[in-house]
Amino acid sequence: MKAAILGATRGMGRALARAMAERGDTLCLLGRDVADLEKSARDAEARGGQAAGAFAVAACDLERPETFGPALEAAEEALGGLDAVVVTAGMFATQDRLEADAELARRLLVVDFAHTVAFCEEARKRLLARGGGTLCVFSSVAGERGRKPVAIYGAAKAGLTRYLEALDHKYRAAGLRTVCVKPGFVKTGMTEGLKPPPFAGEPEDVARTVLSAIDSGKPVVYAPPIWGLVMLVIRNLPRFVMRRIQF
């Protein structure tokens, strides 16, 4: 598989890039810091038994939409086409921080919803122009229900989830397979300092689950899978219960 991954230098994105490299996929890593991208590319090459320089990198910043088109074009040229585009990048901050910092809240809403959708639209057009492919995007279980601890972050992810659902409905028949990944709590740098809840996942386990979904074209995947059952319960709790609990 020829794949471009946005957000492959840390956490779940890096674990997924490693897993894809180990099975022989060809990658172009996209992100803000080219030096970090180069390190991640060399790491992935070593794990996949590839020669140094086999994996390409290109600068792409979700806060700068003008970088989206050039980054994807660079990936297409480096790989000789694209079978898949994976988006793991995004912002996170606690609800307390977002309520105290209006500018941070604005940035998060723009990056995690508006600009992620804009990047996906660029990827969608390019994949469809080639006859189809897979667009795999990391949303979050935070978007499943309005919840006190993630009101703002969850709103952004809820919008992203609905957008990805609509893409799947509209373009699956045309050859675009949209995979919406909904991670629960995963132990990464993004969640460092937060108390892990039950069922907290590891990036490597998430990567294996996501890779299986990419291969099968499964439209929605929870990672770790137990979060699918957790959120089934949460989605069906009455509103008066949601007001009382802190989940």
Domain with 74 in it:
2-244
Look at residues 145, 225, 236, 149 and name the one whose alpha carbon lies nearest to residue 181: 225
The mean pLDDT of the chain is: 93
pLDDT digit string, tens, across residues 186-233: 765 555 556 665 666 688 889 999 999 999 999 999 998 999 999 999
pLDDT digit string, tens, across residues 80-127: 999 999 999 999 999 999 999 999 999 999 999 999 999 999 999 999
pTM > 0.85: yes
Q: How confident is the model at residue 75 (pLDDT cuts 50, 70, 90)?
A: very high
Look at residues 155, 158, 152 and name the one whose alpha carbon lies nearest to residue 97: 152
Alpha-helical runs (H) found in the chain: 11-22, 34-48, 68-79, 95-100, 102-109, 116-129, 151-171, 203-216, 226-235, 239-244
**Between 50 and 38, whose confidence is greater?**
38
Cα 38 from Cα 214, distance rounded (Å):
24
Measured between alpha carbons, how far is residue 43 from residues 8, 37, 228 in Å? Answer: 11, 10, 32
For position 99, what pLDDT does the model report?
A: 98
Instruction: For residue 147, give the CATH number of its domain.
Output: 3.40.50.720
Q: How many domains does the chain have?
A: 1
Cα 242 from Cα 238, distance rounded (Å):
7
For position 108, what pLDDT does the model report?
A: 98
Name beta bridge partners: 31. Answer: 59
Q: What is the DSSP letter of 237?
A: S
For position 196, what pLDDT does the model report?
A: 60
For position 157, what pLDDT does the model report?
A: 98
